[in-house]
């Protein structure tokens, strides 16, 4: 599970996603074959937030951009009104999709996925080994959406946690079944800001501290020791902490969220002003929001404007998704 180097910046990590590996180039394993075409009959069941039409300044306003990520230049974007999930898709919601369709995720087809070293629940024989330049990630046979920490784990008690170990392919297949789509990167950032213009975080510009936990991120010394002072060592339930001004829960921290767009670090130089949908093509898809592994000393991407990316078949224990109501025009 080799890394996907993108930037020489010390905080960037392979493909970022707080150091998550890509699936590209995985040795000795044949790639999965997907033909997921479903009737839009799924029972989505996730609470919706109504996002008003409007304009906002997209991109880094605080000077915290990681070089190479392409968070600048800031640019004005105008969007139509849309409806988006108030939370990321939960394990229980994803389980309904699997039960009704029989779909197999990329992690299940590949028969392994990436698990953070301190969360592994697997027999020694299932441990493939660490990623070369991100040794806190281990390839684990049997890790998938229903076994998030390895073959010896389950979803007991995690029904209302975000589903993880889902690739962009998997998230898109769920959207087809539910008659929905993934948010564009611009929609995601506008919704995440919650109406606070140019704020660094969904709650404003105040930094995270132990007096008032606002987000599920890594505390302590990354990657060796997580104090868990925010109450969680891996994912938290989707309605933890406080929603933003639009009623969205945990747009930053907890899990990275797949977006519809192809990723290009130069895209902000000449973006459309009206409802941008990203480049026409690419090799990796956008991820937004950071995760429970983000830490200021390593991956400060738990910010509204932070960007990351990964290949469409990559899965890991800190990435999920939320969906948008599909309009007739899309």
- Which positions ≥6 away from 225 have C-beta within 8 Å? none
Max mean pLDDT range (30-34, 97-101, 219-223): 97-101
Q: Rounded mean pLDDT of 173-194?
A: 97
Residue 35 reports pLDDT greater than 80? no
**30 within domain boundaries:** no
Q: Looking at the predicted structure, is the pLDDT value of residue 26 above 50? A: no
Contact 17, 318 (CB under 8 A): yes
Whether the CB-CB separation of 185 and 327 falls below 8 Å is answered with no
**Span between the terminal Cα atoms of the chain, in Å:** 35
CATH number at residue 243: 3.90.1580.10
How many of the other CB atoms lie within 10 Å of CB of 81? Answer: 10
Q: Is residue 36 part of a domain?
A: no
In a domain, 14, yes or no: no
Structural domain that includes position 304: 48-325
What rounded mean pLDDT belongs to the chain? 89
Does residue 163 sit within a domain?
yes
Cα separations in angstroms, 23 against 186, 288, 301: 26, 19, 21
3-state secondary structure of 200: coil
21 occurs within a structural domain: no
**Quick one: how many helices (H) and strands (E) in the chain?**
4, 15
Residue 164 falls inside a structural domain = yes
Cα-Cα-Cα-Cα dihedral sign, residues 202, 21, 90, 41: positive
What local confidence, expressed as pLDDT, does residue 211 receive? 67
pLDDT at 299: 82
Q: What is the Rg, in whole angstroms, of the alpha carbon atoms belonging to the chain?
A: 18
Q: Phi/psi at 54 (nearest 5 deg)? A: 170, 180
The secondary structure of 21-37 as a DSSP string is: PP-TT-TT-PPP-----
Phi, psi of 49 (to 5 degrees): -120, 130
Average pLDDT value for residue range 263-269: 97
Total count of domains within the chain: 1
Query: According to the model, what pLDDT value does residue 27 have?
Result: 38
* DSSP state at residue 128: E
- β-pair type (220-221, 134-141): unpaired
* CA nearest neighbour of 136 among 309, 311, 293, 302: 293
Query: What per-residue confidence (pLDDT) applies to 40?
Result: 64
The answer to the question of residue 206 being in a domain is yes
* Residue 209 pLDDT level (bands cut at 50, 70, 90): confident
What pLDDT band is residue 24 in, cutting at 50, 70 and 90?
A: low
C-alpha distances in Å from residue 136, one per residue of 13, 19, 147, 220, 304: 11, 8, 19, 15, 25
> Is pLDDT above 80 for 20?
no
Weakest mean pLDDT among 24-28, 148-152, 291-295, 317-321: 24-28
What are the pLDDT digits (tens) for 65-93? 988 999 999 999 999 999 999 999 999 99
Q: 21 vs 138, 194, 220, CA distance in Å?
A: 9, 30, 23
Residue 42 within any structural domain of the chain: no
Q: How many residues does the chain have?
A: 330
Residue 122 has a pLDDT of: 98
User: At 48, is the secondary structure helix, strand, or coil?
Assistant: strand
Give the pair of three-digit tokens for residue 111: 């028969």
| pLDDT for residue 245 is more than 70 | yes
- Report the alpha-carbon distance of residue 276 to residue 54 in Å, rounded: 13
Provide CB contacts within 8 A for 99, sequence distance 6+: none
């Amino acid at each position: 599970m080799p890394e996907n180097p993108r930037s020489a910046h010390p905080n960037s990590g392979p493909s970022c996603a707080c150091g998550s590996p890509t699936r590209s180039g995985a040795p000795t394993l044949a790639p999965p074959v997907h033909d997921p075409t479903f009737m839009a009959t799924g029972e989505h069941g996730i609470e919706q937030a109504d996002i008003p039409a409007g304009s906002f300044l997209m991109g880094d306003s605080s000077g915290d951009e990681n070089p190479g990520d392409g968070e600048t230049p800031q640019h004005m974007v105008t969007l139509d009104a849309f409806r988006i999930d108030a939370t990321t898709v939960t394990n229980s919601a994803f389980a309904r999709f699997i039960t009704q369709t029989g779909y197999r995720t990329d992690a299940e087809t590949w028969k392994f996925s990436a698990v953070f070293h301190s969360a592994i629940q697997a027999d020694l024989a299932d441990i493939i080994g660490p990623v070369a330049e991100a040794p806190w990630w281990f390839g684990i046979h049997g890790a998938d959406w229903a076994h998030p920490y390895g073959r010896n784990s389950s979803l007991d008690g995690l029904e209302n946690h975000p589903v993880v170990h889902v690739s962009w392919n998997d998230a898109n297949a769920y959207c087809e079944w539910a008659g929905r789509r993934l948010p564009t990167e611009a929609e995601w950032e506008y919704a995440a800001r919650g109406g606070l213009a140019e704020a660094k975080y969904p709650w404003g510009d105040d930094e995270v501290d132990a007096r008032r936990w606002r987000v599920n991120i890594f505390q302590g010394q990354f990657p060796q020791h997580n104090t868990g002072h925010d109450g969680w060592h891996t994912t938290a339930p989707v309605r933890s902490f406080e929603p933003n001004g639009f009623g969205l829960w945990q747009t930053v921290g907890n899990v990275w969220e797949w977006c519809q767009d192809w990723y290009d670090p130069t895209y902000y130089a000449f973006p459309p002003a009206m409802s941008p949908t990203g480049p026409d093509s690419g090799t990796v898809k956008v991820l937004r929001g950071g995760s429970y592994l983000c830490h200021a000393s390593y991956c400060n991407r738990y910010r509204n404007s932070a960007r990351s990316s990964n290949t469409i078949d990559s899965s890991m224990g800190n990435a999920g998704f939320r969906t948008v109501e599909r309009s007739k025009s899309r």
